[in-house]
Structure 1
Amino acid sequence: MNTFLNTLNSNNMQTKKPFKNLKIFASGFLMLTGLVATAQQTTGDVVKKADVDPGTTITDGAVRVIDNKGTIKYLQTQNGITMLSNTTANVTTTTWQLGGVLTDSTFIDIDGKLFGLNGLELIDAATESASTDATTESDAGTGTGYTILVRDEATGATKKLLATELIQSGQEAFTATLAQTTFALTGAPVLPSFSQVWVYRNGAKLIANVDYTVAASTVTLVENDYAVYAGDIVEIQYVK
């Protein structure tokens, strides 16, 4: 780390100034790491990473510092925090920022506190549409349109959902044969409960779970005070 000390001397920095900067740097670092505390290593020995030398670029390393008692310590990154040293002017400034690839599962427990994101853009319905080609674990720039972020309650994982999977609807009309009572929807979509399925005979609405029942992708008419004639139009609508 002689290069580090020589750089400080060559810049004619006062003795107390590095300690002051170190305290400010360490305070900010502790605030940042508090956000991902549950993902940090809390037991066992920490393996020291390679030194970050002035004038070089390294995305995963350690910076050696000396506290006001002369004890040598190291600061290093983990879990998606990127560290870069400047490659110009041979200075020892190090930038800490969020980003990169997580090396461990990471949870932020807000513990009843408010957690939100400011500055989010509103979707422009005139120019943006729901994604039809989204794929699992894709990076930005892959696919088009937008998806919806949801939370898996079993694992806490954040996942994405196609807008078409959030609310699905369908409609199909059949021309009945004489005494036909069962109507299977094309494509075999699994229908929701009867309260979310509407059936019409020649434009007249039938009573749910009285004049018809629902099972899987099939609607079965129950001829209560009516009969199905050849040429009747039976329309089925559903939302799930």
Structure 2
Amino acid sequence: MKTSNKTNIFKQAILALCILSFGLASAQQTSGDVTKASDIIPGTTTTGGAVRVVDNRGTIKYLQTKNGITILSNTTNDVTTTTWQLGGTLTDDTFIDVDGNVFGLDGIELISSEVPSTDATTESDHGTGTGYTILVRDEATGAIKKLLASDLSLIQSGQESFTATAGQTAYPLTGSPVLPSYSQVWVYRNGAKLIANVDYTVAASTVTLVPGGTAPNNWAVYAGDIIEVQFVK
């Protein structure tokens, strides 16, 4: 009886050793002739250039990336392909650091004379509004946000006229807009353009006239003069 038990134990040990050896052999990496295989194509069973994996039911599948999309394909006659795509809801803040490299998008549709959105709301889903908004970047946080076209302040212009009192030289603009450089500010007295930085100066939102000069170009500000200021920035 003891001999029989020892024999059974020995047989079980040999069997376990064989199973372990098979498992170790299956886990080894092997290399084949890559010139005889090609990359996996969805709907086919070719396996070159992919990583072979085994699922929890022992089915052999192959994992590879194609244009940034991961494809999972098995090698049975009835091929199953599962594609993992970008999309869904972000659960954490996500940043891509291009580290000085170009990050671009090709194939973007060009639009013209489209209607800007008038009903856009914060964090709205697609299909819930009309027209177009503009994507902008918050430099403080790096977050991408949207902006109504009507709120885009890249270009501003203004015009204001004043009826002068005798000797009046300072003309502060309504709303206190910060005026740009002389090349973008034009000042007229009764329709005649004054010379920038000679007949007038600009500081913050105020235009200051500098009457005087020598004959025959000497001049003064009289009551009722119309002073017009135009600017663009």
TM-score (norm 1): 0.53
- Further displaced range: 228-237 or 148-157: 148-157
Q: d(CA) in 2 for partners of 1:215 and 1:133?
A: 39
The 3-state SS of whatever aligns with 2:61 is helix
Considering only aligned residues, what root-mean-square deviation do their CA atoms show, in Å?
4.0
Aligned residue among 232, 235, 238 for 2:225: 232
Give structure 1 stretches of 5+ with no counterpart.
1-13, 34-62, 64-91
Q: Is 1:159–2:145 an aligned residue pair?
A: yes
1:166: how far off?
1.3
Asked if the contact 2:177/2:204 (under 8 Å) is kept, the reply is: yes
Q: d(CA) in 2 for partners of 1:206 and 1:227?
A: 12
C-alpha distance after superposition, 1:167-221 (max 9, x if no partner): 1111122222222222222233232334422212122222323322223322222
Aligned residue among 92, 101, 104 for 1:104: 92
The 3-state SS of whatever aligns with 2:153 is helix
Taking only the aligned residue pairs, the percentage that are identical comes to 72
Measured at CA, do residues 198 and 159 of structure 1 come closer, stay the same or move farther in structure 2, by a change above 3 Å? Answer: farther
- Structure whose CA Rg is larger: 2
Residue 136 of structure 2 corresponds to: 150
**Paired AA for residue 189 in structure 2:** R
1:237: how far off?
1.2
Residue 175 of structure 1 corresponds to: 163
Aligned residue among 47, 61, 70 for 1:22: 61
Give structure 2 stretches of 5+ with no counterpart.
1-44, 73-79, 214-218
1:165: how far off?
0.8
- Further displaced range: 105-114 or 213-222: 105-114
TM-score (norm 2): 0.55
Aligned residue among 196, 200, 209 for 2:197: 209
Asked if the contact 2:69/2:84 (under 8 Å) is kept, the reply is: no
